[in-house]
Amino acid sequence: MNILVIGGGGREHALCWKLRQSPLTGAVYCAPGNAGIAAVATCIALDADDHAAVTAFVHAHAIELVVIGPEGPLVNGLADALRAGGIRAFGPSAAAAQLEGSKGFTKDLCARAGIPTAAYARFDTPAAARSHVAAHALPLVVKADGLAAGKGVVIAHTHAEATAALDALSGPVVIEAFLTGPEVSFFVICDGTTALPLASAQDHKRAFDGDNGPNTGGMGAYSPAAIFTPALQAEVMDRIITPTIAAMAAAGTPFTGILYAGLMLTPTGPQLIEYNTRFGDPECQALMLRLESDLVELLVAACDGKLDSARPVWSNDVAVVVVLATRGYPGPLQPGGVIGGLQVVPGDATVILHAGTAFDDNGRFIAVGGRVLGVAALGKTVSEARARAYARVAGIDWPGGFFRTDIAANAGGEHA
């Protein structure tokens, strides 16, 4: 079947790379794609917000599956528009995507369904939240209610920090109690009624080594997270995921797509930090390396309401992804320049996934974004996967970029 992937980052490169491996796959298109994706898909200029144009392209190219990568098009209702046109689309409706599009919506759902999460308060404006901050113990977590590209969260240890965080926001906000414990990303695929566990991962949000610096969209990840045991997964499915899917269905907004739970493993048990309604980035890169079964079959089963018979197969190996970003990220970017050393190395088992690249007039790769590359590797152990990933990173010639040197360094256990 012909497939269209919406998006142009590292997540979408990983999806196109994996979709291309399926014997069910015909032509693969990616809108807008990037210079790396061009090796595995035809990149096209389509505005994901122009639903009529996307629908027309799908019909014109006999596309049977549209995979929507980023959160923006989901919240804006692209999946609804495609399904209304008789097109199979992987991703939640706009109503269901509120689980990511509004943190307040999700917190209220948790309160109604008894899902464990941090105590919270919602405010229509940052100004309305200031008195709440002044009256509560620190630290507090200040969050923009809406989409913020993974960076709209501040952990405030002083009232001055909390006030500054509110001053930097506009629109509705959520103030939460601070939770302690290791964080885990857990991915589930849903068809509206069935929720099928996929895999766990741990992300590295801070820009610099030692979890220092500002929050980013993610500077690296690894999967699986050894700390997320089968018993913890069962508890999360029972107390968090299943009640969420049931509550969404009962509200007339069944959830179809990827449900990505950001979890805090607190001393009293797992608690939900937030939901994303799509694959994480860079976690998706790690998951696609570990997925051994057919991604097309899995996505189609979710779209067609047939996940109850799906059985995805995962490698027992560990996947590690190291992100290379343009200097200055996540703030004002310095000139990225030309990137060398990206050619395929014979015998090398790593995969370089592009997030923000283009071609210059001489056909060379150049950086055109904040996060630019993800170097992904598998290994029997965390140490082996890390060594392979960082050895390949060392072969990339890019003076305009930087990366963390401690991705998965404290992975919490080895995998035999």
CATH top class, domain 119-177: alpha beta
Give the integer Cα–Cα distance in Å for 276 and 284: 12
Statement: residue 95 has pLDDT above 80? yes
**Pairing relationship of beta strands 140-144 and 153-156 according to DSSP bridges:** antiparallel
pLDDT bucket at 352, cuts 50 / 70 / 90? very high
Annotated domain spans of the chain: 2-90, 119-177, 181-309, 318-402
Kindly report the number of other CB atoms within 10 A of residue 387's CB atom. Answer: 14
- Each residue's pLDDT tens digit, 286-317: 999 999 999 999 999 999 999 999 999 999 99
CATH architecture of 2-90: 3-Layer(aba) Sandwich (3.40)
CATH number of the domain located at residue range(s) 181-309 in this protein = 3.30.470.20
pLDDT bucket at 412, cuts 50 / 70 / 90? low
Residues in Cβ contact with 78 at an 8 Å cutoff, skipping those fewer than 6 apart: 6, 48, 49, 51, 54, 68, 89, 91
In three-state secondary structure terms, 146 is: coil
Let me know if the fold of 2-90 is the same as that of 181-309. no
State how far Cα 292 lies from the chain centre: 20
Q: In a 10 Å sphere around its CB, with 0-12 CB exposed, 13-18 middle and 19+ buried, how is residue 399 labelled?
A: exposed
pTM of the full structure: 0.95
DSSP category for residue 107? H
Q: Which CATH superfamily is domain 318-402 in?
A: Phosphoribosylglycinamide synthetase, C-terminal domain (3.90.600.10)
- Each residue's pLDDT tens digit, 331-346: 999 999 999 999 887 7
SS (H, E, C) 198-250: EEEEEECCEEEHHHEEEECCCCEEEECCCCCCHHHHHHHHHHHHHHHHHHHHH
SS (H, E, C) 290-334: HECCCHHHHHHHHHCCCHHHCCCCECCCEEEEEEEEECCCCCCCC
Kindly report the number of other CB atoms within 10 A of residue 415's CB atom. Answer: 15
Residues in Cβ contact with 308 at an 8 Å cutoff, skipping those fewer than 6 apart: 194
Task: Give the per-residue pLDDT at 415.
Answer: 39
Task: Give the per-residue pLDDT at 115.
Answer: 98
Question: Contact, 63 vs 2, CB < 8 A?
Answer: yes
- Amino acid identity, position 145: D
